[in-house]
Amino acid sequence: MSWLLALDQGTTSSRAMVFDADGCVRGAAQKDFAQFFPHPGWVEHDPDEILASQLDCTRAALVDAGIAAADLAALGITNQRETTILWERSTGRALAPAIVWQDRRTAAACDRLRADGHADLIRARTGLELDAYFSATKLAWLLDNVPDARRRAEVGELAFGTVDSWLVWHLSGGALHVTDPGNAARTMLFNIRSGDWDDQLLALFGIPRALLPRIVDSSGPCGETHAEVLGAAVPIAGIAGDQQAATFGQACFTLGMAKNTYGTGCFLLMNTGDEIVASTNRLLTTVGWRARGRTRYALEGSIFMGGAIVQWLRDGLGLIRHSAEIEALAASVPDSGGVVLVPAFTGLGAPYWDAYARGALFGLTRGTGAAHIARAALEAIALQTVDLVAAMDRDGAGPLKELRVDGGAAANDLLMQLQADLLGVPVVRPQMLETTALGAAYLAGLGVGVWSCEDEVAAHWRAERRFEPAMDADRREALIARWHRAVGRSRGWAEA
């Protein structure tokens, strides 16, 4: 029997899953970890806690599967992307908290770069919008604010990595400092055309090359774990950012196939094959994965607040006790009663890229109740996704035939029906919702020959439920127009 282990290091929890050669889960474990919000707009994680929680649940998943590390054919790593960690090579010690992808502390630095006319060069080389979301300005901030960091970086004493690099470094006992092109493509330091770090961008952001990891294929062995970490040396054969891994796990292998993951944020990726599609509608052009030296690209729409809106209703407002309760509450009313929630809590991502937009509730009346707000929250998740698909259409990447969905909030039937209704496109939910971990396992398994080709893993994919659009076009258009009016009014709110 061939066993594969996936390490899935997400924004709010670390998970690990053991898969068999049929792509079925044979063991799993999960551990939440702390979120730190030290200032408005800042979001941090403790790199040691990321590592410890990931190692704890990795060991627990092996126990759950009843196997030992020595039984594994390989492991794959998938991770929250962009989150930036700086550590000391000699000790492996992180020098500062991880700056999380949601953190907006470098919004003003991005404004300065934009005012100096660098946005077009950055978009042309990286496929990204100049925004605090990506790693480059976060890393520059660390070099400017951690004592002595810049000098030490220049003489090669320090290492930078996104979470994949941090985990591989520690899994390998400090032997490997690597990342894959998909993760590298989210740093804003990687040239998606040359497939390498870009010297002009490194100079622009003031990043010494000595800090950077080596870029390896997303699929294929790049080294192995140190025997003491998991109890045996295990080939590390898959590395991918979580959204890229979910695209792979959803078997979106052919041109035009797309998935949307409804986790903390929502991330819609469409496979554009071998082609780099430059968006003119403020989507991101990104690397999907690289296998045997061949790169697949994707168009991505990134939304910062997806399931996190539901968390806010639960933890911030106390309207529900568990995330799943939002469905019954929202279903208790036929519509939102005119309420629109714009979830710009950390600014707006694609296609608006407005770091200064802030959350807003419009249309409140004396008749507004918790259920209307709950329904408006679900509509907001779906309407943000509508904006992404519309931008993809305008980029000529569509039309979307169906949308494959996954992530925690994709379990919500009402949300999925609203999504199909508001898109006017069928939404298809697979039986296996843990597509991120599955994608990491697929990349690793293909890398060591457990599977021979993408078609073989695509054959595992099974639909659980298909949501057909049922809303009439007039109503859909009216809801979308109302949403756009509300978004317009939330923009620029926090402008300094």
Range in contact with ligand G3P (rule: CB under 6 A) among 84-92, 119-127, 151-159, 238-246: 238-246
Residue whose C-alpha is closest to residue 124's, from 274, 278, 271: 278
Is residue 412 involved in binding ligand ADP (CB under 6 A)? yes
Is residue 241 involved in binding ligand G3P (CB under 6 A)? yes
Residue 91 identity (one-letter amino acid): T
What does DSSP say about strands 98-99 and 3-9: parallel, antiparallel, or unpaired?
Answer: unpaired
What does DSSP say about strands 3-9 and 72-79: parallel, antiparallel, or unpaired?
Answer: parallel
Is residue 343 involved in binding ligand G3P (CB under 6 A)? no
260 in a labelled binding site: no
Q: What are phi and psi of 437, to 5 degrees?
A: -60, -40
Q: Which of 87, 101, 451, 461 binds ligand G3P (CB under 6 A)?
A: 101
Q: Which of 82, 164, 327, 395 binds ligand ADP (CB under 6 A)?
A: 327
* Smallest distance, ligand G3P to C-beta of residue 10, A: 4
412 in a labelled binding site: yes
Residues with Cβ within 8 Å of residue 412, at least 6 apart in sequence: 262, 324, 326, 327, 378
* Smallest distance, ligand ADP to C-beta of residue 231, A: 27
Task: Render 349-418 in DSSP notation, one character per residue.
Answer: -TTT-BTT---EEE---TT--HHHHHHHHHHHHHHHHHHHHHHHHHTT------EEEESGGGG-HHHHHH
Residue whose C-alpha is closest to residue 94's, from 34, 45, 38: 45
11 in a labelled binding site: yes
Instruction: Pick what 81 binds: ligand ADP, ligand G3P, none; C-beta below 5 to 8 Å, kind-dependent.
Output: ligand G3P
Is residue 411 involved in binding ligand ADP (CB under 6 A)? yes
Burial pattern 337-362, b for ≥16 Cβ within 10 A else e, equals bebbbbbbbbbbbbbbbbbbbbbbbb
* Smallest distance, ligand G3P to C-beta of residue 138, A: 12
Distance CA 29, CA 34 (A): 17
Range in contact with ligand ADP (rule: CB under 6 A) among 109-117, 219-227, 307-315, 358-366: 307-315
Distance CA 393, CA 299 (A): 11
Q: Which of 162, 243, 336, 346 binds ligand G3P (CB under 6 A)?
A: 243
Place of tokens 């629109």: 340
Instruction: Pick what 349 binds: ligand ADP, ligand G3P, none; C-beta below 5 to 8 Å, kind-dependent.
Output: none
Per DSSP, the three-state class of 261 is: strand
Range in contact with ligand ADP (rule: CB under 6 A) among 8-16, 61-69, 128-136, 249-257: 8-16
Closer residue to ligand ADP (CB): 127 or 306: 306
Note whether 253 and 259 are within 8 A (CB). no
Range in contact with ligand ADP (rule: CB under 6 A) among 40-48, 94-102, 402-410, 462-470: 402-410
Q: Which of 242, 327, 395, 406 binds ligand G3P (CB under 6 A)?
A: 242
- Give the per-residue SS3 of 324-343: CHHHHHHHCCCCCCCCEEEC
Segment 70-99, which members bind ligand G3P (CB under 6 A)?
80-82
Per DSSP, the three-state class of 441 is: helix
Please give the structure tokens belonging to residue 371. 């259920």
Note whether 17 and 27 are within 8 A (CB). yes
* Smallest distance, ligand G3P to C-beta of residue 241, A: 6
Is residue 408 involved in binding ligand ADP (CB under 6 A)? yes
Instruction: Pick what 220 binds: ligand ADP, ligand G3P, none; C-beta below 5 to 8 Å, kind-dependent.
Output: none
Residue whose C-alpha is closest to residue 96's, from 32, 158, 154, 52: 158
Residues that bind ligand ADP (CB under 6 A): 10-13, 263-264, 307-308, 310-311, 323-324, 326-327, 407-409, 411-412, 415
Binding-site members for sn-glycerol 3-phosphate are 11, 81-82, 133, 242
Residues that bind ligand G3P (CB under 6 A): 10-11, 80-82, 101, 241-243, 263-265
Binding-site members for glycerol are 81-82, 133, 242-243
Binding-site members for ATP are 11-13, 264, 307, 311, 408
